[in-house]
């Protein structure tokens, strides 16, 4: 059974506005590293953000581990979001906080604001954060402020923070678009390695088709909110890419 089932998903930002997503359907399996590609404005980021209701879908269904997400509110939605980690394009770190505190903020859904404010984290959480920082190569930067780090280092903090949640799904929203090509490939490799190690499937909105082809096992191609392709990476060819990006404005 798929861990994520999306059916006829649609989205618009205002009641009278244009549809950004137009009836998108797909499944994510437990071992998938799933890419969403397409030209700018195709709806890639909107699709990612509909999964955890950072964007409210206007129609359709999102089922996560058999539970309907679109109808959730309040405590139920917060519980689902604990199980869905997210890695952002612009890192989404708190610059004035240390690397360690940014990673520990991944436990916010479990500890609450007050314990976070006073840094009253259980020892097991602190030890796990240290282990994750070691795994992403930042064990020597634990006490640095986040704004002292390079872009690649900041994204590594974002990876550790997302995994600190103990997620059952990772959403990646353009995780490499702020990075140079060499660092982008290193970051994608690190995400895939750690996602495989922790048994977490990934759904990745990505602008770099070469990285999608290298690291992802399945691809969805969007154009103007419409699904143009859905299948294994090896079935993607230049003709299909040309069709997906036919409306790209250069």
Alpha helices in the chain (DSSP H): 44-51, 74-82, 99-104, 108-111, 113-117, 123-135, 151-164, 181-198, 209-215, 238-244
Q: Is 217 exposed, middle or buried (0-12, 13-18, 19+ CB in 10 A)?
A: middle
232 vs 227: CA distance, rounded Å? 14
pLDDT tens string 96-109: 999 999 999 888 77
62 vs 21: CA distance, rounded Å? 13
pLDDT tens string 152-180: 999 999 999 999 999 999 999 999 988 89
pTM: 0.91
pLDDT tens string 55-83: 999 999 999 999 999 999 999 999 999 99
Residue 157 has a pLDDT of: 95
Residue 50 has a pLDDT of: 96
Residue 119 has a pLDDT of: 64
8 vs 226: CA distance, rounded Å? 11
Which residues, in sequence order, are CB contacts of 126 under 8 Å at separation 6+? 100, 104
Total length of the chain: 250
Which domains does the chain carry?
1-83+167-250 (3.40.50.300), 92-165 (no CATH)
- Asked if 192 contacts 158 with a C-beta cutoff of 8 angstroms, the reply is no
- All residue ranges of the chain with pLDDT < 70 are 110-120, 248-250
Residue 101 has a pLDDT of: 92
Residue 92 has a pLDDT of: 85
Q: What is the mean pLDDT of the chain?
A: 91
CB atoms within 10 A of CB 131: 13
């Amino acid at each position: 059974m798929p861990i994520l089932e999306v059916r006829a998903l649609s989205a618009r930002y205002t009641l009278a506005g244009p549809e950004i997503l137009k009836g998108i359907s797909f499944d994510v399996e437990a071992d998938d590293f799933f890419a969403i590609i397409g030209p700018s404005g195709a709806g890639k980021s909107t699709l990612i953000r509909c999964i955890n209701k950072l964007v409210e879908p206007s129609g359709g269904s999102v089922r996560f581990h058999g539970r309907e997400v679109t109808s959730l509110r309040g405590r139920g939605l917060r519980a689902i979001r604990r199980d869905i980690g997210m890695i952002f394009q612009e890192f989404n770190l708190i610059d004035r906080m240390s690397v360690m505190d940014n990673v520990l903020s991944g436990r916010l859904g479990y500890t609450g604001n007050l314990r976070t404010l006073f840094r009253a984290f259980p020892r097991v959480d602190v030890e796990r954060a240290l282990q994750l920082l070691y795994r992403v190569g930042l064990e020597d930067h634990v006490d640095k402020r986040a704004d002292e780090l390079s872009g690649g280092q900041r994204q590594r903090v974002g990876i550790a923070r997302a995994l600190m949640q103990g997620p059952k799904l990772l959403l990646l929203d353009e995780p490499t678009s702020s990075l140079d090509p060499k660092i982008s490939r290193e970051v994608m490799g690190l995400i895939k390695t750690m996602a495989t190690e922790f048994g977490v499937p990934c759904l990745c909105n990505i602008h770099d088709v070469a990285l999608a082809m290298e690291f992802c096992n399945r691809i969805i191609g969007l154009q103007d909110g419409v699904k143009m392709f859905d299948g294994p990476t090896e079935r993607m060819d230049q003709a299909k890419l040309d069709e997906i990006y036919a409306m790209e404005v250069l």
